[in-house]
């Protein structure tokens, strides 16, 4: 089952899910919109992997067709028995932004670092922008919930 | 649970889901293939957001690596208690087409506007082409099913 | 429900799911990482669809922003009542790799051919690299489980 808005609130009250800042959760009928926080990394073209980290005071201009990472504003803890699926809000897909399907494992705790590919025209990216939509699925309890390298990380974590 | 072909037919009979044209639904083992309808929008490179709207009489040539939107042929209503996940048919992924993961909220009613990125070679896009594959999940009932800006829209809706 | 590591092992023991090589399954808390096998196809730019097939002895260099297909190392059979969703591992998304959301239908049996778009810088792709993450959902039993053109295919299958 996919959690509804009501079930997400219930899971937060139960402590099975934790999202901060708790008073600014952007609930949708069946999920949560996640926002760009205060740091992004622009992945550079050519050469070896290299990125430009930018602290977002307000907003920045981004070149067409750029792959960037952003630390989400939200910090989350996902209890065992739930899995998140990251997608992009349809309004962003309609403007030509793309993202890849990724999973948030049961047991994960920390700030998310999410990927975004900008459209074929220059865009302005603002702190607090609601870009991604995450749905949460019931899952059978994992015998080894997430405890990997990104556990507890609170700043933008590159690959 | 993901709905099977049989459960989708049951949901349509029950009225919990509605898809038109009803006699041309492309069922798969666990979902429905959605088709390009009669209007597309090619998102232009450079400058600010600008698109070229094209009425599809038959087919058009599209430049390599183009991000486009299409109004689906299908018009759908999704009852409360179900959520759709839009992906791309594996045969299109194998030819180099890409799309982003997006959700159809419980309660949505209207034609879908879906995103597609064409491969690195020129392609022909035809009216009626089956490009996307949508699976439907049971969800807990939402306390506020979708009633946003795209509700009831029947033509291609840009972002 | 999304299958956990324990439920995946149970499904393999039950025979409802089969993955080979069975002693090298990369379980995650709620899914399985799938690896690049010994064949890839680089989709060429320009002209009509054309690809360069490469047998992977060890590793290859790939140009920036390339769409490629790979036969997975794993061969799988998915029983009726289960559906797979292919995504990309978050560590790859963080390095700028992208992929599209695709579904593995109930009843599918064979090697998978999966899509990958490389980042905007040149990369080395190695045989055995764990790139994709697949989660498995319970589904209602399909009345017509998958039996299409890719059924039973063991080598890389282009579109």
Domain ranges for chain A, please list them: 5-138
* Vertex C31 angle, CA C28 and C33, to 5°: 70
Say how far apart CA C23 and CA B53 lie, in whole Å.
Answer: 53
How confident is the prediction along chain B (159 residues), in pLDDT tens digits per residue? Answer: 999 999 999 999 999 999 999 999 999 999 999 999 999 999 999 999 999 999 999 999 999 999 999 999 999 999 999 999 999 999 999 999 999 999 999 999 999 999 999 999 999 999 999 999 999 999 999 999 999 999 999 999 998
Grade residue A27 by pLDDT with cuts at 50, 70 and 90. Answer: very high
Whole-complex ipTM: 0.97
Convert the pLDDT of each residue in A66-116 to its tens digit: 999 999 999 999 999 999 999 999 999 999 999 999 999 999 999 999 999
Question: Residues of chain C whose C-beta is under 8 A from some C-beta in A?
Answer: 1-7, 28-31, 64, 85-101, 119-122, 133, 135, 137
* Residue A6, H or E segment: helix A5-14
Residue C121 DSSP one-character state: S
Say how far apart CA B69 and CA B156 lie, in whole Å.
Answer: 8
Residue C80: per-residue pLDDT? 97
Residue of chain C with shortest Cα separation from B139: C1
Convert the pLDDT of each residue in C61-119 to its tens digit: 999 999 999 999 999 999 999 999 999 999 999 999 999 999 999 999 999 999 999 99
Among residues B18, B79, C4, the alpha carbon closest in space to that of A79 is found at C4
Residue C129: per-residue pLDDT? 97
Say how far apart CA B94 and CA B81 lie, in whole Å.
Answer: 33
Size of chain A, expressed as the number of residues it contains: 159
Among residues A153, C39, C148, the alpha carbon closest in space to that of B33 is found at C148
Rg (CA), chain B: 16
Using alpha carbons, list the distances in angstroms from residue C112 to A40, C3, C58, C99.
Answer: 34, 20, 20, 14
Q: Enumerate the residues of chain C whose CB falls inside 8 A of the CB of residue A110.
A: none
**Residue in the structure block whose two tokens are 């700030």:** A111
Residue A112 backbone class (left: φ over 0; alpha: ψ -120 to 50; beta: rest): beta
The listed CATH number (2.70.40.10, 3.40.50.1100, 3.40.50.300, 3.30.465.10) that belongs to domain B5-138: 2.70.40.10
Query: What is the mean predicted confidence (pLDDT) over C122-126?
Result: 97
Residue A80: per-residue pLDDT? 97
DSSP-assigned states of every residue in C2-21: B--HHHHHHHHHHTSEEEES
Q: A153 CA to chain C: closest CA distance, Å?
A: 14
DSSP-assigned states of every residue in B78-142: E-TTEEEEEEE-HHHHHTT-B---EEEPTT-EEEEEEEEE--SS-EEEETT-EEEEEEEEEBPPP
B83 and A28: CB-CB below 8 Å? no
């Amino acid at each position: 089952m996919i959690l509804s808005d009501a079930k997400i609130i219930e899971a937060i009250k139960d402590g099975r899910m934790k999202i901060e800042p708790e008073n600014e959760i952007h609930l949708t009928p069946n999920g949560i919109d996640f926002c760009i926080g205060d740091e992004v990394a622009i992945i550079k073209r050519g050469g070896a992997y290299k990125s430009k980290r930018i602290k977002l005071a307000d907003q920045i201009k981004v070149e067409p067709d750029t792959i960037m990472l952003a630390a989400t504003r939200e910090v989350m803890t996902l209890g065992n028995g739930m899995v998140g699926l990251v997608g992009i809000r349809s309004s962003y897909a309609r403007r030509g932004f793309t993202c890849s399907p990724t999973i948030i494992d049961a047991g994960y705790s920390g700030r998310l670092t999410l990927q975004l590919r900008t459209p074929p025209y220059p865009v302005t990216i603002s702190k607090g922008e609601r870009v991604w939509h995450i749905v949460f699925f019931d899952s059978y309890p994992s015998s080894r919930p997430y405890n990997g390298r990104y556990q507890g990380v609170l700043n933008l974590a590159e690959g």
